[in-house]
Amino acid sequence: MPVNERRRGTGMKELLRSNDLVKLSWIEALLADSGIAVLVLDQHTSVLEGSAGAIPRRLMVADDDYRRARHVLESAGEGAEISS
């Protein structure tokens, strides 16, 4: 079943915020490998504000995947990055 169909009707929860584009990309790939779909918000906001990287990007996951996503990040040693 496609991810977008499976997630229809669920809310999203912020997993983390970061200005580090490399780390965000790696965490996004790590979660995708675990079957967890992510949405990165605020990707273009910094450009609009005129200072690239000034506004942290937010990595969001479906409410249903939040606990599993936290576990994946903690297992990879990235637990300190998780938003509280």
Closest CA to 20 of 52, 63, 66, 65: 52
* 20 or 79, which is more confident: 20
Closest CA to 24 of 4, 32, 63, 10: 32
**pTM of the entire predicted model:** 0.76
Give the tens place of pLDDT for each residue, 34-84. Answer: 999 999 998 777 566 666 667 889 999 999 999 999 999 999 988 777 876
At 1 the pLDDT is 41
Domain of 48, CATH number, reads 3.30.70.790
At 12 the pLDDT is 93
Q: By residue range, what is the domain housing residue 8?
A: 3-81
Q: How many domains does the chain have?
A: 1
